[in-house]
A and B are shown apart, each in its own frame.
Chain A
């Protein structure tokens, strides 16, 4: 399967702690994207990292990409209860076809 596979499947932390989610994939990619999905809602784009980039930041989010290991990680620093959601990585190939992983369910407790 080409799909990204995420680890862990579920993560439970306290507010203020950091949350790290990992994504592995099997094929070559144009870019890798991270999305958030709140319960019962649509997906919200977080970060896009291209295959020639190693790290990107956006606010409290940090994404790394290691194409030699075919893996990416999403770090959320100083987590808040509002960060509670499912986080998906998606690998992008031709025509911007996104192939999603199964997601990591993050619960941040006050």
Chain B
């Protein structure tokens, strides 16, 4: 059973399109995250939700909008895709964001290529 799963695994799309990436965790965790890894392997936090509440919102374009319908899911919607959005997007979850429960478990990543 995959603890943190993402769909799709690969996404190739044209500039200007709107796309969504889905993430689900079956670990019963309260906190979920989205990270972006660029072509140089640099990982950067984008968003975090704790119990469906947004707690981290880094400086990312408004075209990126996370949505957490419940604690087990955190989706990422991207409007008007640009070439620079090409990257690997990782979802992660942790039991909580504090109190000895911070270990983050990562999904396999979604490889987005914008043409």
| A residues apposed to B, CB below 8 Å | 30-31, 33, 35, 37, 41-45, 48, 86, 88, 90, 92, 95-100, 102-103
- Contacting residues, chain B, for A43 (C-beta < 8 A): 43, 90, 92, 106
Q: Is the pair A95, B48 in contact by a Cβ cutoff of 8 Å?
A: yes
| Bound-complex Cα distance A44 to B108 (A) | 10
B55: interface (CB < 8 Å): yes
- Top-9 shortest CB links A-B: A96-B97, A42-B106, A100-B43, A43-B106, A96-B102, A42-B108, A95-B55, A95-B97, A45-B103
In the complex with contacts A88-B43, A99-B45, A41-B108 CB distance below 8 A? yes
Interface residues of B: mostly helix, strand, loop or mixed? strand
How many interface contacts (CB-CB < 8 Å) are there between A and B? 58
Option from A42, A92, A95, A96 in Cβ contact (under 8 Å) with B90: A42
| B residues apposed to A, CB below 8 Å | 4, 31, 33, 40-45, 48, 50, 55-56, 90, 92, 94, 96-98, 102-109
- Contacting residues, chain A, for B45 (C-beta < 8 A): 97-99
